Amino acid sequence: MSLVNRVIQRVKRDYFRGQYNKAVRQVLDTAPLKQGTLPFMLLSMVHQRDVQSYLVAVKSFVYFLNPERIVVVCDPSITPADRATLKQHVPHIELRDADEFTHPDMPRGGTWERLFAIANFSPDNYVVQLDADTLTVRPIPEVREAIQAGHGFVLGELPDTPIRSLAETRQNALPKLRPGAHIQSISEAEMAQVGLPADARYIRGCSGFTGFPRSAGMREQMIDFSRRMGGKLGDDWRRWGTEQVTSNYLIANAAGTRALPFPKYGTPDCATGDTAFFHFIGSMRFINSKYEATSRQAIELIGSVPA
């Protein structure tokens, strides 16, 4: 890409980011959430830069499904002022520090602490993991049904996102192995070689929105998986993306897991008029006005809830 094109792209990103920031501030004028009664925990990990985005994400989700517990694992960047803002808008929120959720057999940083928090809460809670860059704008009955049935769910990447055996996962990943291959593909090729259970499975989903059923063994399962993969991949197991691999492994082996229907749940580039749940992954946030427009739609929806 030429220097001129890079400059043009940077200017466009800055413009769309600025327009989004103006829109997302409007969430601060919406009413605080009331505690729900649905039997699950909604958990997110939040960075200081994403506090307002998170409020739109959580309030738009709760408009359709209001849980009895909401937990935020606070990135070290979260300030006392941020905590006050979160408490103001979600009075019953439980704020936990990322440093509470570490283990010597697992990497730190990225979203590892978030996933280990889920594993620690899972014996007593159905846990829904919600990224701060998500927006819910229409009913999500598939999520309600999964929670009620105690089944897992995960965002898929395609209309058909299968759960595979580890041997099938390896065969699917091998063609992607070339110099500079992504750590996700490398991990998927190697997990069949590390002594995991013969009946273990894997799904190539997205950890940004995942439903974890109650599990007495998820914590130890996560530690064991990380220990084995770290032993195989060494320092590469500390690379960004390995936590998503781990999340995909854990949810594939949870009770009754299915991928949510795509593109009803998915990224904005694949959205249709029926899309109910958007995940604005980093590369898709500020390339156009979709994140701003969908956030305005979500905030308007949030504002229709009586205070």
CATH code, 59: 3.90.550
pLDDT band at 159 (very low <50, low <70, confident <90, very high): confident
Percent of the chain residues past pLDDT 90, beyond the cut:
89
213 pLDDT exceeds 80? yes
Crossing angle between the packed helical segments 112-121 and 218-233, to the nearest 10 degrees: 150
Residue with more model confidence, 206 or 3:
206
Helix, strand, or coil here: 155?
strand
Average the pLDDT over 154-163 and give the result: 90
Predicted confidence (pLDDT) per residue in 234-252, tens digit: 999 999 999 999 999 999 9
Task: State the average pLDDT for the chain.
Answer: 95
pLDDT at residue number 307: 41
In sequence order, the β-bridge partners of residue 186 are none
- Which residue's entry shows tokens 């084995």? 228
- Based on the fold, state whether residues 142 and 58 are members of the same structural domain: yes
Total number of domains in the chain: 2
- Based on the fold, state whether residues 199 and 285 are members of the same structural domain: no
201 pLDDT exceeds 70? yes
φ/ψ region of 138 (left if φ > 0, alpha if ψ in -120 to 50, else beta) reads beta
Predicted confidence (pLDDT) per residue in 20-77, tens digit: 999 999 999 999 999 999 999 999 999 999 999 999 999 999 999 999 999 999 999 9
Average the pLDDT over 298-303 and give the result: 95
- Based on the fold, state whether residues 133 and 196 are members of the same structural domain: no
Q: Provide the domain limits for residue 275.
A: 3-155+206-215+256-303
- Based on the fold, state whether residues 43 and 176 are members of the same structural domain: no
- Based on the fold, state whether residues 151 and 228 are members of the same structural domain: no
pLDDT at residue number 185: 96
232 pLDDT exceeds 80? yes
The token duo for 266 is 């998915």
pLDDT at residue number 305: 57
Predicted confidence (pLDDT) per residue in 77-105, tens digit: 999 999 999 999 999 999 999 999 999 99
pLDDT at residue number 9: 83
- Based on the fold, state whether residues 288 and 146 are members of the same structural domain: yes
pLDDT at residue number 304: 77
- Based on the fold, state whether residues 211 and 197 are members of the same structural domain: no
Tell me, what amino acid is at 196?
L
Average the pLDDT over 135-155 and give the result: 98
- Based on the fold, state whether residues 76 and 110 are members of the same structural domain: yes
Residue with more model confidence, 179 or 196:
196
- Based on the fold, state whether residues 191 and 271 are members of the same structural domain: no
- Based on the fold, state whether residues 88 and 14 are members of the same structural domain: yes
pLDDT at residue number 14: 86
Query: Using CA atoms, how far apart are residues 74 and 236, in angstroms rounded to an integer?
Result: 26
CA-CA-CA-CA torsion for 265, 266, 271, 275, nearest 10 degrees? 20
Average the pLDDT over 268-289 and give the result: 92
Average the pLDDT over 7-21 and give the result: 88
Average the pLDDT over 129-149 and give the result: 98
- Which residue's entry shows tokens 């792209």? 9
- Based on the fold, state whether residues 19 and 52 are members of the same structural domain: yes
- Which residue's entry shows tokens 């390339």? 287
pLDDT at residue number 1: 65
pLDDT band at 2 (very low <50, low <70, confident <90, very high): confident
- Based on the fold, state whether residues 104 and 225 are members of the same structural domain: no
